[in-house]
Structure 1
């Protein structure tokens, strides 16, 4: 509850009652009391002074308490507590029906020690009003359209965003039917979802739209007193989001076409070129000619490697990678990739520090591309006459780290910060560097890390850390 000081205007034609109540309220709570002897005096005071609440007797000369409430509510909208006589249930009923915040019998508070009851009621209605004002400020500052709608579809309240959306004012929206400001089919759908929320007693989420616009909606029951007869409709314009989703779907479809091209057409042609180069190799004895054959074979190997990377890259951004992660046998995948690199790069010596831990890591089948690209990188960018790469793995209770160290030229500190960027060039290499970018992308999807550091005495070390599969 808001416990800051409260200013109250007490209206009563009895000077004695005004004095007793004002003195005791000041003692009972942090309440400052201003006094008025009748309705006109109260209105004059309100014109000059700001207060948080009005407490008024019902029976007074001139304006009675209910008439004063109507004036105060229309001009100031302040919390209002009405004091009634003994057994005056009819007046109390009229007061509540008119919208008075609370009422008390004067006899209940006139007794010694009972002023705390009035103090509590004042604090409650003021705290409620302050909370409502904060909520109103919050509601009107949100970009979402918020309306309160009756079961029959009549708008009872609306925020500024809703008014702007319908090119009108909040006051003009109130009393209109949803179908007055929305297409009839859209309005009927929102009312139906609102009624479902009222029946279920909980929020209902749905989407709709009209023209080129799309909306995300939440309909939630609104309780007024003990009854729930209206629902709050929160509407967010998601037209931009839907447009981006369509663009992403189109790009995914385009990637799928590229993927099929890489998987089949280009790969098949490369396999044919490699087979023809191997066939020519048998009949070439001239040393210079053999060098060209070997260049053709090496280039074919490189193109084959790039098509594999491109295929894996498309797979990694296909949209389902995050949801297809499972337990993968790290040792098996690492052994397979070491064997492939050993066959592909005759000049490369690969030393594996065994035993490799037999553990399951959280990844998918594309983990082979991570290890394969790091081994390929160590081979292709190594200018040593005796290129070497060492492979080792260590584990902790929750993760596994795989280390790839080479004796190549190394990577400068400036390049270390960008080596995993898309399209980065390897040192002294015409390659695209997309392999390292792919490795970083995949490891990140697995919830792991990949780092590069200097090796001793030369070269660099790539360390891949992966979470164990639970």
Structure 2
């Protein structure tokens, strides 16, 4: 915080002290300090102008410092107010604190010991605290999240407009109410239990619940306080749209998988009949038989890929920690690799659905083997936030559509393999990019992967 933007009103019936204090704060401590010589004049000045802090003498005729503070509080309940008192007794200090002063100093120490630097530090401190508090209150008041301060017994001490609106009331009306009296009883009880758990454990508790057809994600944060009552702050975010999108996506995935299963079943039956008939067919044209056989095999591959594609797009619900090398080696065994070789330099574990992770590697390996004329060397290596699969083949000339359905440069490719890779990556929340390997081949990079050594 820059010191120069602090405006301070110095109040003292001693013109010499008021003017000298204001002048010293302005010239030596880079503040804009203005002096007035009575409580009445100060009250009028505060009506006319904005100040960040008031420094006032305690004993003044007509209106003393505490009477001035009372007047100030009627207009501004939080303006920082520092009291300068000639009395160092506990009764005066206690009275000042009860009245709500931000701080108090002995006036003689400031005057005789010339501790204006100490006074300036106190002003800067209380103004900084006040500004921080106001920013926080503004954020809370304007937040779309429902925010409330709640006791262990479920009593709402304060709430922001967003939470009050959800409950059909106002923040002022909500203060002092029990959660069980203002919302669905079962939901309220679960939230009060979460408040108590947060207070007892001293840790943030997260829950999700529903209220009046809306879905909420809640955080209960224990509040450190000198109050006698233990409390927690509730931050409740409306996640209805996210939940509904997730549910709709799950319904779509279920319909898609069901459709793919039905189609693949209905296609496999005539395909098997055709394959069996071909085996029984007694013809001399071996080339024609081989051509039909290849076509039937290709149809079988397409059916398998379509079914896999339908299943791989589902969001990953329960990932596991699996080593990259074990996934890669198992996937390599699933692929007809001919004379290709595999090198795994990646270390550590990744959080992944093991089955779909294996499918991802298998499709990338198959892509490397099938889209290069000669034997290739495939490498699986580590990235700072993921891993890569690279080969030393001829590379991919146009990478703009490689992850699109049906795109293939191989004569016998289905054009679905890399689309499956893209779906698996998306289901895990990973990034997927195609670049060129150091040897000029293809390099697929998976990023945003949760990993550990």
Which TM-score band applies after superposition, normalised by the shorter structure? 0.7 to 0.9
Instruction: List per-residue Cα deviations over 1:67-103 (Å, max 9, x = no partner).
Output: 3212212213411112333244223223322322122
Aligned-residue offset at 1:239: 1.4
Local SS of the residue matching 2:373 = strand
Q: Is 1:284 aligned with 2:313?
A: no
Instruction: List per-residue Cα deviations over 1:375-399 (Å, max 9, x = no partner).
Output: 55x5xxxxxxxxx821311659756
Matches within 5 A, 1:205-244: 205-225=206-226, 229-244=230-245
Aligned-residue offset at 1:202: 2.9
For 1:200 and 1:64, locate their aligned partners in 2 and report how far apart those are by CA, in whole Å. Answer: 47
For 1:15 and 1:165, locate their aligned partners in 2 and report how far apart those are by CA, in whole Å. Answer: 55
The residue number in structure 2 matching 1:123 is 124
TM-score (norm 1): 0.76
Which has the larger Rg? 1
The residue number in structure 1 matching 2:402 is 419
Local SS of the residue matching 1:391 = coil
Q: How many residues align?
A: 430
Q: Is the 8 A contact 2:345 2:380 kept in 1?
A: no
Q: Is 1:312 aligned with 2:308?
A: yes
Aligned-residue offset at 1:315: 4.6
Aligned-residue offset at 1:44: 0.8
For 1:443 and 1:245, locate their aligned partners in 2 and report how far apart those are by CA, in whole Å. Answer: 17
The residue number in structure 1 matching 2:137 is 136
For 1:2 and 1:227, locate their aligned partners in 2 and report how far apart those are by CA, in whole Å. Answer: 37
Q: Is the 8 A contact 1:328 1:364 kept in 2?
A: no
1:333/1:24 Cα in 2 relative to 1: closer, same or farther (>3 Å)?
Answer: closer
Local SS of the residue matching 1:68 = helix
For 2:140 and 2:2, locate their aligned partners in 1 and report how far apart those are by CA, in whole Å. Answer: 20
Q: Is the 8 A contact 2:58 2:84 kept in 1?
A: yes
Q: Structure 1 residue aligned with 2:374, among 372, 390, 393?
A: 390
Matches within 5 A, 1:428-439: 433-439=415-421
Aligned-residue offset at 1:427: 6.6
Matches within 5 A, 1:94-173: 94-173=95-174
Deviates further, 393-402 or 243-252 = 393-402
Aligned-residue offset at 1:127: 0.9
Q: Is the 8 A contact 1:149 1:232 kept in 2?
A: yes
Aligned-residue offset at 1:49: 1.8
Instruction: List per-residue Cα deviations over 1:254-280 (Å, max 9, x = no partner).
Output: 355356557766546534431221121
Local SS of the residue matching 1:389 = coil
Q: Is 1:61 aligned with 2:61?
A: yes
Matches within 5 A, 1:30-49: 30-49=30-49
Aligned-residue offset at 1:303: 1.2
For 1:462 and 1:16, locate their aligned partners in 2 and report how far apart those are by CA, in whole Å. Answer: 83
The residue number in structure 1 matching 2:390 is 401
For 2:452 and 2:232, locate their aligned partners in 1 and report how far apart those are by CA, in whole Å. Answer: 46
Q: Is 1:372 aligned with 2:370?
A: no
Local SS of the residue matching 2:221 = strand
The residue number in structure 2 matching 1:17 is 17
**Over aligned residues, Cα RMSD in angstroms?**
4.0
For 1:94 and 1:429, locate their aligned partners in 2 and report how far apart those are by CA, in whole Å. Answer: 91
The residue number in structure 1 matching 2:189 is 188
The residue number in structure 1 matching 2:354 is none
Provide structure 1 residue ranges, at least 5 long, that are not aligned to the other structure: 340-349, 379-387, 454-459
TM-score (norm 2): 0.78
For 2:444 and 2:418, locate their aligned partners in 1 and report how far apart those are by CA, in whole Å. Answer: 12
Q: Is the 8 A contact 1:28 1:115 kept in 2?
A: no
Provide structure 2 residue ranges, at least 5 long, that are not aligned to the other structure: 351-356, 383-387
Q: Is the 8 A contact 2:364 2:389 kept in 1?
A: no
For 2:244 and 2:334, locate their aligned partners in 1 and report how far apart those are by CA, in whole Å. Answer: 43
For 2:181 and 2:65, locate their aligned partners in 1 and report how far apart those are by CA, in whole Å. Answer: 39
Aligned-residue offset at 1:27: 4.8
Q: Is the 8 A contact 2:12 2:37 kept in 1?
A: yes
For 1:331 and 1:153, locate their aligned partners in 2 and report how far apart those are by CA, in whole Å. Answer: 55
Aligned-residue offset at 1:234: 0.7
